[in-house]
Amino acid sequence: MAQPLVSWERAKNVMPGGVSSPVRAFGAVGGDPVIIASGRGSRVFDESGGEFIDLLGSWGPLILGHAHPKVVEAVKKAAEKGTSFGAPTDGEVRLAEMITGALPSVEMVRFVSSGTEATMSALRLARAATGRTKVVKFAGGYHGHVDSLLVSAGSGVATLGLPDSPGVTDATSKDTIVAGYNSIDSVKEAFSSFPDQIAAVIVEPIAANMGVVPPVSGFLEGLRQICDEDRSILIFDEVVTGFRVGYSGAQGMFGISPDLTVMGKVIGGGLPIGAYGGRRELMEMVAPAGPVYQAGTLSGNPLSVAAGLAALEQLGNGDPYGTLDSLGRLLSDGLQAEAKNAGVPLTVQRVGSMMTAFFTDMEVFDLEGAKTSDTDGFARFFHQLLDGGVYWPPSQFEAAFVCLAHDDDDIARVIETASKAFERIG
């Protein structure tokens, strides 16, 4: 086999941990990461010619699979016309219209370059709109590496946040209150502890960053009601779920209207993007329409917008979400059955095309539940799959994604490989 063009040692010499984002380094499962050379459809290929069925999907954006011809064509065309102008373009208006058309709660949208930027900006707007400082987030909820959101205390009880990372000051994190996912009581407690001080509640309407944890019935409704009563801003972080669980995101699926919505991933068709949007009177507070400053040299980048438009066009035709749901069900049912046969405790939690196979025998409702998973068992599972040509996300607490490029044969091969893995683990 050919040697990779660049070795992992060289990567680690010049980049912290050898990567541009921590989860890529296989820290949670051990071993050296695969250095990717290319991707096509449902597959990725490494530099030595190894081929993998990809269930990472670049951590969410690639709902059409790798190098989808329509997306590639759109990006090529856009690149030939110039890659950035720092001035308004047609494409960004059309993408904004597509997004506002798909999400009834979003009347106006501002494009940024990442999900992190979008959540950071949405918080600024919420604080400006309410004149308050505190924010409620949930244990196990991830909203990018925004200072004030890099906080996650024990679940269940609302507590004042302590920072997760050095470099985040106590002054920043003290305005973050951590509540338990799926626990309306912990949110009520936060609001009664800090009346008229909470600017916003930010929530993943379907949690995806402690593994996939759907909201229990009444949870999102409860958040909506509490925010209405206290005149706080409800922010749905739909960076993962937007255009992933349905064309109108999780808010369409559950019929709940947030005040602000944060997006990213799928809306960029695999290129860098983020966006936040919501009701007109809130969004018109954003500069230059209003006083809340927020800007970006490459925001609304023509290549990202072109890729996003091409992707959303595909998702707006036919029944892609029905197809994704069938593929997702096939995979989750198969994994669940094979684990049972092998006597491996496993709980597969899935919404449409996103799922997590928790190595625990209990249903997971929050971070505490997720932590009952056998992470060593998961690490062995992950490496067995990788050896068998299946690229599963390298962490127990992440979502695996099926995409429209997967077919029944791909799924059957994943299940077969997983079956062998379960037998070895069990």
Ligand X SMILES: *Cc1c(COP(=O)(O)O)cnc(C)c1O
Of positions 39, 41, 252, 274, contacts ligand X by CB under 6 A: 274
Of positions 199, 206, 212, 240, contacts ligand X by CB under 6 A: 240
Q: Residue 176 or residue 384: which is nearer to ligand X going by CB? A: 176
Contact positions with ligand X (CB under 6 A) in 119-138: 119
Applying CB under 6 A, does 143 fall inside the site for ligand X? yes
**Is 142 one of the annotated active-site residues of the chain?**
yes
Beta strands, E only, 49-173: 51-54, 108-112, 134-138, 159-160
Q: How far is CA 200 from CA 87, 117, 174, 231, 257, in A?
A: 32, 17, 14, 9, 14
Q: Tell the smallest beta-carbon distance from residue 21 to ligand X (Å).
A: 7
DSSP 5: S
Distance CA 56, CA 41 (A): 13
Contact between 107 and 318 under an 8 Å Cβ cutoff? The reply is: no
Which secondary structure element, helix H or strand E, spans residue 253, and what is its range? Answer: helix 249-254
Q: Tell the smallest beta-carbon distance from residue 241 to ligand X (Å).
A: 8
Q: How far is CA 134 from CA 118, 161, 292, 387, in A?
A: 18, 11, 17, 47
Of positions 54, 175, 237, 325, contacts ligand X by CB under 6 A: 237
Number of residues that bind ligand X (CB under 6 A): 15
Nearest to 315 by CA among 57, 63, 56: 63
Applying CB under 6 A, does 248 fall inside the site for ligand X? no
Q: Tell the smallest beta-carbon distance from residue 8 to ligand X (Å).
A: 23
Distance CA 92, CA 108 (A): 12
Applying CB under 6 A, does 398 fall inside the site for ligand X? no
Only one residue has tokens 């602000």, namely 260
Q: Tell the smallest beta-carbon distance from residue 424 to ligand X (Å).
A: 31
DSSP 209: B
Does the N-terminal peptide bond of residue 288 adopt cis geometry, omega within 30 degrees of 0? Answer: yes
Applying CB under 6 A, does 393 fall inside the site for ligand X? no
Q: Tell the smallest beta-carbon distance from residue 155 to ligand X (Å).
A: 17
Closest-CB residue for ligand X?
115
Residue of 137, 265, 321, 366 marked catalytic: 265
Residue of 54, 142, 175, 321 marked catalytic: 142
> Given the rule CB under 6 A, which of 38-46, 109-117, 181-189, 250-258 is the region that contacts ligand X?
109-117
**Is 237 one of the annotated active-site residues of the chain?**
yes
Applying CB under 6 A, does 156 fall inside the site for ligand X? no
Applying CB under 6 A, does 308 fall inside the site for ligand X? no
DSSP string, 151-191: B---SSS-EE--BSSTTS-HHHHTTEEEE-TT-HHHHHHHH
Contact between 349 and 212 under an 8 Å Cβ cutoff? The reply is: yes
DSSP 212: -
Q: Residue 175 or residue 237: which is nearer to ligand X going by CB? A: 237
Applying CB under 6 A, does 268 fall inside the site for ligand X? no
Only one residue has tokens 């958040």, namely 223
Q: Looking at the DSSP assignment, which residues form a beta bridge with residue 391?
A: 54
Contact between 126 and 233 under an 8 Å Cβ cutoff? The reply is: yes
**Is 12 one of the annotated active-site residues of the chain?**
no
Contact between 160 and 174 under an 8 Å Cβ cutoff? The reply is: yes
Q: Tell the smallest beta-carbon distance from residue 399 to ligand X (Å).
A: 8
Applying CB under 6 A, does 215 fall inside the site for ligand X? no
> Given the rule CB under 6 A, which of 93-101, 108-116, 313-321, 379-387 is the region that contacts ligand X?
108-116
Of positions 36, 190, 223, 239, contacts ligand X by CB under 6 A: 239
Q: Tell the smallest beta-carbon distance from residue 393 to ligand X (Å).
A: 12
Distance CA 136, CA 53 (A): 38
Catalytic machinery residues: 142, 237, 265
In the complex, the residues that contact ligand X under the rule CB under 6 A are 114-116, 119, 142-144, 204, 208-209, 237, 239-240, 264, 274
